[in-house]
Chains A and B, each alone.
Chain A
Amino acid sequence: MDYRQNRWLLWPIMILLLVFSLDKLAFLPVYKNSVLYWKKIEPAIYQSRQDLFHQLKTKHYRKGAWKDKKLGLILGSSRSSGFDSDYIAQKIPNSYTYNFSAPFTSPAYYDYWLETLLAAGIRPDFVLLELDAAVFNAQAIDYQLSYSFDLDFVWRHTDLYRPHLRDVWLSRGKGFGWSELEAWLARHWIGFYRYPFKPGNIEANYTRTWLPDPDSALGMREIRRLDFREYVQPLIQQVNEKKLGGIPNIFFVQVPPDQLATDALHMAERDLKHFQADPTQVIFARNLLERLARSGIPVIIYMPVVSNEFYPYYKKYKVKENFNEPFARLLASIQAQYPDFRVFVRDLNESASFSCRQFQDSYHLSGPCFPTLTDQLITSSFLQAVNRN
């Protein structure tokens, strides 16, 4: 063994250990709060979903006044944040709906939460699932690798070997590929990778700004921008407690058509032009749907309505051929396997009856349109399926 005569052989390992230890300084609150850009609230929202789960488990599910109520679950991206639990309760009487939507999500995220809930003994009575091409591309998992999942889930759902298939829609497995496991580990275990040192962010975060504060005499309060996260935290908590995770709003936003057209061009270039379903998302979508089928939970799969300026790009870049049709085949194969699986697919993009088409951008419907959307999604046949459940 050469180490005894040549102790310097261990120096590279010692240096690596030293650097890895110093790296943990990046997890100190004083550092990470300084470098994380103040406007970046996605980490807070993803964290709030853990609080939401805790709230459901400890305060609501089968407890007190909620004991006999039907539990609804919404799994989606920011495009599904506008659903109102109270409005859904009008459509599905004696129900309450938890909205686990978060920015930039994907089927992997949905499966994570469904599995977590079921493992905790929480069985939703109905699920509203947002699925379209945007959540199936390779980039869709990026935010969740940074802010969601846990080590156990990631490890159990990693395929160490994934064969390359000609038809990606035939992919099967546990879910993640090796590179996603690495990415998750890097983003959770390497501090300076998760919280990169950005002097520009530090400067921006320590700039002072004024924000509304009803408790102060001026009605406004001066804070450092990095304190914005603390400022927002109670609001997120309120959203969890009062609206069960959803952020329904009455603010009518209609962006001018020329801006929507510009946005549509950029989104189409980014998401549709070179769209290819990612095998990780296909595997998680399959596993998610099978889990729902086995659990006998009725599901609405809805494809979010996009702006009139954006929708023509769906035809131009053959989204129907590249996504809708293969997804329909995947769903049909699961329905063949589970004949009692009650699934309702709703794509209102070409529906003449859906008239509330006001958009904040190509993807995000304006808040006041969500009641109309809810009316269109929750049909009488779905209601029957829920009542039979």
Chain B
Amino acid sequence: MLFTTISFLVFFIGLYLVFWSIPGRWRLPYLLLVSILFYAAWSVLFAVHFLAMVAIGYYFARRIYAAKSPQSKKRNMVAAVLLNLANLFLFKYFYLFLTILYDLDHNPLFTKKVFDGWLYSWSGSDSLVLPLAMSFYTFQLIAIIVDYYRNQIDEPPQALRFFVFILFFPQLIAGPIMRHSDFMQQLDTIQPRREYGQQGLYLVLLGLIKKVVIADNLIAGIAPPFHQPESFNAASNAIAILGFTAQVYCDFSGYTDMARGLAFLLGLKLPRNFVAPYLSRSCRDLWTRWHVTLSTWLRDYIYIPLGGNRRGVLRNHLNVIITFTLGGLWHGANYTYVIWGFLHGLFLVMERLVEDGLQKIRGPQAIAAAEQPRSRWVRGILLLLQISYTYALFTFGALFFRALDMTHAMAMLFQIGTWAPGQTSEWNEYLLGMTVLAFGFNWIQNRKQDLILFVPDKWRYGTLAVASFFIWVLVGRYAPAGAAYIYFQF
């Protein structure tokens, strides 16, 4: 069930009314039940699979917590992490693995067609299907298991809270990737909070505009150049990439806004995942603003275990590149995602090298002085340059993120790089306009608080009511038929 469907609206209204009707002690079991139903609406079989993985995670969390010796803790942690990674590998990366083997060996046995034929004869299934939300819940399971191993969680795992933590439906499909500290304490007492209710409704409405009105309507304009870059001129190819940055931001942050909004309506707060990423001043800044929960996960569970910055400069740079390459791979089983991740790692390393180099040449005081320009105009121009630089790098990476495969990505680069002729897309002005609008939403997101909280309390629900009507009309006008959500595929 997508959040933007009628069936979800009916589901949530019923859920909400019952949730706030039942006594507090029943709310957790009820949340668990509705979350299972939400997932099972997609597939009952995979809901069983999902529950089994959570149960196994819980089992290992208990063993780790209870383990007396560090070796036993480590054994259980490694077993749990490997099991989750094996599960993810099988459903998500097996076909990529076959592709790599085939590219190396050209043995026809290593083709999807042959494997699927064998699978069909053995199980009646056409192919391996990636279970919904698997990438997200796998990371969340690994995080909590490793946190128990690191003794970062004082309390023993408790079954109901553990299951709700992983299965909580608003964040299930597309994050944010939660940590124990983000969420568990809230489950002790779920109370209605007026401000949460207001923020919840506000975020749901904001998410609807971003997702339905903007992101879904960009698909038709972006697809043609990405599918046939050689048919379109350089400008159309370049604008399609810009349009994609607007689409992926509005799609992903819109869906996250709705997820956070729904959680707020149920008295629970989810962490922010986007903090005006297109207003970033550097790549390092970008990753504190774009998919924040993923970047902190990568830092805590890949970068730091690899040694972080504690093993010398060269090793640090390597760790950054490995971390982000794996982060790219997490997004999808395609070379293009790997390249995208690798590029971001490279950008970060390059920035670091430039910073370190400047520091050596000019000294730290000079760097600090350079960061304090005298006039507002200079500050403004510098900020604009920084934002443009970061956005340009992000856009370059976005080409690979969206491209169908490396062949298409290279073709697109070639068209742009050689300023090749071709047809002009009729969508160019629209895509540029939407990109500007996406920056507008970034500005909104840059506020410390949600905009609705700036309205005096007695006017908030009235404002939300008026806004709801206008957004309802807008959604009616611009909603295309059932566009999927980009991060669904992860």
Q: Is the CB of B476 within 8 A of A196?
A: yes
Let me know if B351 is at the binding interface, CB within 8 A: no
Q: Is the CB of A23 within 8 A of B472?
A: yes
Let me know if B372 is at the binding interface, CB within 8 A: no
Q: Return the chain B residue nearest A18 by Cβ.
A: B465
Using Cβ atoms and an 8 Å threshold, which residues of chain B touch A118? none
Using Cβ atoms and an 8 Å threshold, which residues of chain B touch A19? 465, 468-469, 472
Let me know if A378 is at the binding interface, CB within 8 A: no
Q: Is the CB of A16 within 8 A of B13?
A: yes
Contact of B192 among A6, A178, A190, A192 (CB under 8 A): A6
Let me know if B488 is at the binding interface, CB within 8 A: no
Using Cβ atoms and an 8 Å threshold, which residues of chain A touch B477? 192, 196-198
Using Cβ atoms and an 8 Å threshold, which residues of chain B touch A12? 16, 197, 200-201, 265
Q: Is the CB of A183 within 8 A of B13?
A: no
Let me know if A2 is at the binding interface, CB within 8 A: yes
Let me know if B407 is at the binding interface, CB within 8 A: no
Q: Is the CB of A8 within 8 A of B476?
A: no
Q: Is the CB of A182 within 8 A of B197?
A: no
Let me know if A251 is at the binding interface, CB within 8 A: no
> Can you identify 11 A-B contacts, CB atoms within 8 angstroms?
A3-B21, A6-B20, A8-B461, A11-B197, A11-B201, A11-B461, A15-B201, A16-B13, A182-B5, A193-B479, A197-B473
Q: Is the CB of B468 within 8 A of A142?
A: no
Contact of A3 among B5, B20, B465, B478 (CB under 8 A): B20
Q: Hey, what's the 0/1 contact readout for A1-45 against B, CB within 8 Å counting as 1?
A: 111001011011101101100110010000000000000000000
Distance in angstroms between the alpha carbons of A197 and B472 in the assembled complex: 11
Nearest 9 pairs of A and B residues by beta carbon:
A192-B476, A196-B477, A193-B476, A166-B126, A6-B192, A15-B465, A182-B6, A2-B20, A11-B461
Distance in angstroms between the alpha carbons of A8 and B16 in the assembled complex: 13
Distance in angstroms between the alpha carbons of A232 and B316 in the assembled complex: 75
Distance in angstroms between the alpha carbons of A112 and B476 in the assembled complex: 27
Q: How many residues of B contact A (CB 8 A)?
A: 32
Q: Is the CB of A9 within 8 A of B469?
A: no
Q: Which of A274-308 contact B (CB under 8 A)?
A: none
Q: Which of A148-176 contact B (CB under 8 A)?
A: 164, 166
Q: Return the chain A residue nearest B478 by Cβ.
A: A196
Let me know if B70 is at the binding interface, CB within 8 A: no
Q: Hey, what's the 0/1 contact readout for B193-235 against A, CB within 8 Å counting as 1?
A: 0100100110000000000000000000000000000000000
User: Nearest Cβ in chain B — how far from A270, in angstroms?
Assistant: 13
Q: Is the CB of A8 within 8 A of B194?
A: yes
User: Nearest Cβ in chain B — how far from A202, in angstroms?
Assistant: 13
Q: Hey, what's the 0/1 contact readout for B175-195 against A, CB within 8 Å counting as 1?
A: 000000000000000011010
Let me know if A186 is at the binding interface, CB within 8 A: yes
- Residue ranges of B at the interface with A (Cβ–Cβ < 8 Å): 5-7, 13, 16-17, 20-22, 120, 126, 191-192, 194, 197, 200-201, 265, 461, 464-465, 468-469, 472-473, 475-479, 481-482
Using Cβ atoms and an 8 Å threshold, which residues of chain B touch A186? 6
Main secondary structure of the interface of A (DSSP, over half): helix
Interface size on A, as a range, is 20 to 34
User: Nearest Cβ in chain B — how far from A53, in angstroms?
Assistant: 28
Contact of A190 among B16, B120, B194, B476 (CB under 8 A): B476
Distance in angstroms between the alpha carbons of A273 and B308 in the assembled complex: 50
Q: Return the chain A residue nearest B465 by Cβ.
A: A15
Q: Which of A208-265 contact B (CB under 8 A)?
A: none
Using Cβ atoms and an 8 Å threshold, which residues of chain B touch A193? 475-476, 479
Distance in angstroms between the alpha carbons of A164 and B465 in the assembled complex: 41
Q: Return the chain A residue nearest B6 by Cβ.
A: A182
Q: Is the CB of A178 within 8 A of B126?
A: no
Distance in angstroms between the alpha carbons of A19 and B473 in the assembled complex: 10
Let me know if A185 is at the binding interface, CB within 8 A: yes
Using Cβ atoms and an 8 Å threshold, which residues of chain A touch B197? 8-9, 11-12
Q: Which of A65-117 contact B (CB under 8 A)?
A: none
User: Nearest Cβ in chain A — how far from B482, in angstroms?
Assistant: 6
Q: Is the CB of A182 within 8 A of B476?
A: no
Distance in angstroms between the alpha carbons of A13 and B464 in the assembled complex: 12
Using Cβ atoms and an 8 Å threshold, which residues of chain A touch B191? 2
Q: Return the chain B residue nearest A166 by Cβ.
A: B126
Using Cβ atoms and an 8 Å threshold, which residues of chain B touch A15? 201, 461, 464-465, 468
Let me know if A179 is at the binding interface, CB within 8 A: yes
Q: Return the chain B residue nearest A138 by Cβ.
A: B481
Distance in angstroms between the alpha carbons of A62 and B475 in the assembled complex: 49
Distance in angstroms between the alpha carbons of A15 and B200 in the assembled complex: 13
Using Cβ atoms and an 8 Å threshold, which residues of chain A touch B5? 179, 182
Q: Is the CB of A183 within 8 A of B482?
A: yes
- Check A192/B468 contact, CB under 8 A, given A178-B7, A182-B6: no
16 new A-B contacts, CB < 8 A, other than A8-B461, A182-B7, are: A3-B21, A12-B16, A12-B197, A15-B461, A16-B468, A23-B476, A26-B476, A142-B481, A179-B5, A185-B6, A192-B477, A194-B476, A196-B476, A196-B477, A197-B473, A197-B476
- Check A13/B192 contact, CB under 8 A, given A19-B469, A185-B6, A192-B473: no
User: Nearest Cβ in chain B — how far from A9, in angstroms?
Assistant: 5
User: Nearest Cβ in chain B — how far from A186, in angstroms?
Assistant: 6
